[in-house]
Amino acid sequence: MPKLYKFLSVFRTGAVNAASGSAYAEFGNTKVIVSVFGPRESKKAMMYSDIGRLNCNVSFTTFATPIRGQGSDHKEYCAMLHKALEGAIILETFPKTTVDVFALVLESSGSNSISECVAGDLPVVISCASLALADAGIMMYDIVASVSVSCFNKNLVIDPILEEEIGQDGSLMITCMPSRYEITQLTVTGEWSTTKINEGMQLCLDACAKLAKIMRSCLKEVASDSQE
């Protein structure tokens, strides 16, 4: 079975000085910066909460896609990023306050317009955001890694590029915490048989574990550098 690993990835923390923590990720064509600000005091209008709040925002630059975009927020991605991260962050550690996670997609591997890209960029955004959260020192249960898989007839392709995404029969995206072996977010489209789903999920989980290893080594490098 042909499986293509496109793990030619770059992960760097500390991309933005002003932020509490930040990370930059490059995966094939996708380039993403995520900054994490806070924890800061929640807005007065918000109700009292004894756990912290997470505020996520994903936006695209105007030049991220082949056809010039509006540079607008991506509502669906915002919600997905929030759901993918909230299960991993120990929100009890910063009551009454809010952590802001701002992701900016500099270059998208997705389709011609933002509305059409489905799975290409989101896994990178999520993985990068968890790295930025770790860099900011926000307490998490585990690093969150995210991978997508496309299905063609009988073949599974990991981390599909745009050309592959157009012709796919289905796609599966998993966000998980590898050390806890827990899935925080899962989306599936297209037609799948149960055996195919099993196979796809296992492939994603293995890839997430590998990805998390890379992310962890990236964090360790920064930590050991700063000690010297």
Written as six digits, the tokens of 105 are 């997609």
Applying CB under 8 A, among 185, 203, 215, 218 the residue interacting with another protein is 185
Q: Which of residues 102-131 bind another protein (CB under 8 A)?
A: 111-112, 118
Query: Smallest distance from the beta carbon of 148 to another protein, in angstroms?
Result: 13
User: Residue 19 or 208: which CB sits closer to another protein?
Assistant: 208
Task: Evaluate whether 84 touches 185 at the Cβ level (below 8 Å).
Answer: yes
195 contributes a contact to another protein by CB under 8 A = no
9 contributes a contact to another protein by CB under 8 A = no
210 contributes a contact to another protein by CB under 8 A = no
Query: Smallest distance from the beta carbon of 165 to another protein, in angstroms?
Result: 6
Task: Residue count of the chain, please give it.
Answer: 228
Written as six digits, the tokens of 221 are 């490098």
Q: Which of residues 28-67 bind another protein (CB under 8 A)?
A: none
What 8-state DSSP symbol labels residue 17?
Answer: S
161 contributes a contact to another protein by CB under 8 A = no
26 contributes a contact to another protein by CB under 8 A = no
What is the C-alpha to C-alpha distance for residues 140 and 142, in angstroms, rounded to an integer? 5
User: Residue 16 or 147: which CB sits closer to another protein?
Assistant: 147
Written as six digits, the tokens of 170 are 């289905």
72 contributes a contact to another protein by CB under 8 A = no
88 contributes a contact to another protein by CB under 8 A = yes
Query: Smallest distance from the beta carbon of 55 to another protein, in angstroms?
Result: 13
Neighbours of 38 (CB within 10 A): 21
Applying CB under 8 A, among 3, 6, 68, 180 the residue interacting with another protein is 180
What is the C-alpha to C-alpha distance for residues 88 and 184, in angstroms, rounded to an integer? 8
Query: Smallest distance from the beta carbon of 173 to another protein, in angstroms?
Result: 10
User: Residue 97 or 187: which CB sits closer to another protein?
Assistant: 187
| Residue 126, Cβ density class (10 Å: 0-12 exposed, 13-18 middle, ≥19 buried) | buried
| Residue 72, Cβ density class (10 Å: 0-12 exposed, 13-18 middle, ≥19 buried) | exposed
Cα dist from 64 to 72, 113, 159, 222, whole Å: 11, 9, 19, 29
Interface ranges with another protein (CB under 8 A) = 75-76, 79, 82-83, 86-88, 111-112, 118, 151, 165-171, 176-177, 180-194, 197-198, 201, 205
